[in-house]
Structure 1
C-alpha cells in the first residue's frame, strides 16, 4: 500500500464535492486509515476514521450470515418454502414456491415495499417523478415490520419465484428477519447480534435502539438527486423502516474485520460460504443487472482480481466494503452524502466528479 496515494485519493473525493468520508484499507499486517472533509457542515467538525456510521444494505450480509448459521445447524432449510415458516406473511402458492434461498438472493419475485411506506416515492423506479417529502414526514415514524412486508407482498410481482434476473427488494430481508425470529424465538436483531456481531468480536457494530447514533459520528446529508438543495441532515432518523435489511451501525474497522472473518470461513461454515458466492443475475436498485449471491456480490477491481462485498445506502449515509477473494486486501469506506447526482430531462442520474474520484480511490485502495 502507498499511504501517500491513498491520502491523496481520499482528499480528491472530498474536493470533488463529498462533505466527508473515511476509510480503512488492510493487507495482511499493513493497515491504513484515512479521513477527509467534515462531519458537520455548520461547524466544520472534521470526520475521523473511527466514527460510527449507518452502513445501509451491508446489513444484508450480516442477516444472510445469521440465516446460514441456522442452515449450518439444520434448523432452517435453504431450499425449504418460506410458507413452511411464515404462512401468514407469504400465503398460498407463493409461500409454497418461494424458498429461503430466493429471499437471500433476491429471486423471490416479491416487490419493494419502500415506495408504499414513503408515498412521495410511489413512482420509483421513475426517479424524475419521485419527491423527498416523505423523508421528512416519516423521519421519526416507527414502522411495523409485518406491515412493511405486507406492502411488498401485495405489490405487483417483480417476476416468478426463482426467475432471473431477480429484483433487489428489501422485502426479502424483512422476511428473513421474521424467519429468524420465528425459528429462534428471539428478535432478529438480537439473534444477529449474539451469533454474528459478537461472534466476530465487533466492538462498534450494533442495531440502533432509537433514531440517534451512539458514539462519535458524522451528520448524514441527503441531496436526493438535487431535489434537496442544500442537502439536509438525516443523521437522526428512525431506522425501523429498514430493520435487518439496512439499519446497522458500524465502523470501517469493524466492517473489514467482519468480511475478513467471513471469507476465512469463521462466521459460517465453509460450505455455506461457498453457497454465498454462487451468484445469479438480479436487477439492482440502480436498474443495472448485477451478479448477486447470498448476501454478497462480486466486484471487479481495476488491475484485475475479483473482490467480494456489499454496498449500502440510507438517507444521507453510504458505505462500501470489498475484500479480495483470497481474503487479503480489503477496504471499507463510509460517506456522509448520498444521491449527489442530478437528473437529466429523462430522469437518469448524471455523472458527477464524485463518481470518478470514488472510482480512483477504490482503484488505489484495492490494487494500488
Structure 2
C-alpha cells in the first residue's frame, strides 16, 4: 500500500465516533484528518509525552539519565536509575491489573488514587529485564513536578505541547479529566491520563525528530538518540522485532515507532514509518471494536 492509498484506507476503516489523521512523506507532508476533532483520551500514548518531558529536563541540566531516581525524588524506590524507569527495566511493578485497583476504578471512577496508593498496588522486582510498568511513569511524573516546581500538566504544556504546537492536547487536572461516562483518566496518571487529537499526535513527532526543517526538534541530538535507544521486548503479532525506548515502542523489522493506548472507553495509537516517513494516528471508542494499534501497524508496515 503506497502513501497515497493509506489515508483513503484509514478513512474508510474508521468507525463512527472515531478520529484519525495521516501525514504523507517528505519534510512538509500534508496532513489529512478524518472524523471528530474533539480531544479524547489517549491513555498510554501519554508515556511518550512524559518521556520527552524527562529528556527536556536532562537538556536543561535538571538531572542526568544515569542518576538514581531516589536521588532526585525523595521517597522513590532506591536502586533504580531514571533511564531504567524510562525503559521499563527498573522493576517498578505494575498496578494496572491488581484486583484492588480494578475494583476501586469500578466503585469510584471519578475519584482516582494517589501515587502512594498506586505504588502500594504494584509488586516491585529487581531491575534488569523489561517489565512494563505503569507505576514507573507515575514516579517520572512526580520527578518532573519535583524538579520544575510545577504541576505535571503545567510542565508538559510548557515543555512539550506548546513547543510542538499541540494546541488541543492536555494533561488534565481533576476538573478536565472526566470522560462522558464519568471516568477520570487521572486513574492512569502520568502513565496514561492525557487527552489529544490524532493531528496533535502527529505534531509530537516533530518535537522528537529532525523530520521537518521548518520545525526544529526541541531535543538535543543526545536526547533524540536516548528517546530511541531501546531494549528488546516480547510482544505478540502484529509485532515482528519489538523493542522499547524512552516511552516509545519500536519495531526494527517493521520500521515503525510510536505507541498505543487503551483504557475505559477509548483506544488510541500513533505510529511513524522510518522507511517511508508516513505517519498516522487514530482514536476510537472501545465499543467500536476498532483497534488503532493493529490497524496502523498493518497500514504502515512493509508489504510483502
TM range (shorter): 0.7 to 0.9
1:110 is aligned to 2:74: no
1:26 is aligned to 2:8: no
**Cα contact 1:212–1:235 (8 A) shared by 2:** no
Superposition TM-score, scaled by structure 2 size: 0.83
After alignment, is 59-68 or 331-340 more displaced? 331-340
**Cα contact 2:260–2:270 (8 A) shared by 1:** yes
Aligned twin of 2:157 = 193
1:51 is aligned to 2:48: no
* CA distance in structure 2 between the aligned counterparts of 1:319 and 1:110, rounded to whole angstroms: 25
Aligned twin of 1:11 = 12
Aligned twin of 2:245 = 293
Residue 31 of structure 1 and its aligned partner are, at CA, apart by 2.5
Report Cα offsets for 1:231-267 as digits up to 9, x if no partner. xxx6431122222210000111111011133212613
1:322 is aligned to 2:268: no
Superposition TM-score, scaled by structure 1 size: 0.70
Unaligned runs of 5+ in 2: 211-215
Equivalent runs, 1:160-239 vs 2, <5 Å: 160-161=126-127, 163-164=128-129, 166-210=130-174, 235-239=181-185
3-state DSSP class of the match of 1:179?
Answer: helix
**Matched residues, number:** 291
Alpha carbon RMSD of aligned pairs, Å? Answer: 3.1
**Cα contact 1:6–1:365 (8 A) shared by 2:** no
Report Cα offsets for 1:200-232 as digits up to 9, x if no partner. 121100122336569xxxxx7xxxxxxxxxxxx
3-state DSSP class of the match of 1:83?
Answer: helix
Unaligned runs of 5+ in 1: 36-47, 122-132, 215-219, 221-233, 341-353
Distance 1:285 1:108, change over 3 A: farther
Equivalent runs, 1:72-83 vs 2, <5 Å: 72-83=59-70
* CA distance in structure 2 between the aligned counterparts of 1:282 and 1:183, rounded to whole angstroms: 30
* CA distance in structure 1 between the aligned counterparts of 2:101 and 2:254, rounded to whole angstroms: 41
Residue 62 of structure 1 and its aligned partner are, at CA, apart by 0.7
Larger Rg: 1
**Cα contact 1:278–1:294 (8 A) shared by 2:** yes
Residue 311 of structure 1 and its aligned partner are, at CA, apart by 1.0
Give the counterpart of 1:255 among 201, 208, 211: 201
* CA distance in structure 2 between the aligned counterparts of 1:327 and 1:100, rounded to whole angstroms: 32
Aligned twin of 2:283 = 334
Distance 1:358 1:107, change over 3 A: closer
* CA distance in structure 1 between the aligned counterparts of 2:120 and 2:296, rounded to whole angstroms: 40
Give the counterpart of 2:119 among 149, 161, 164: 149
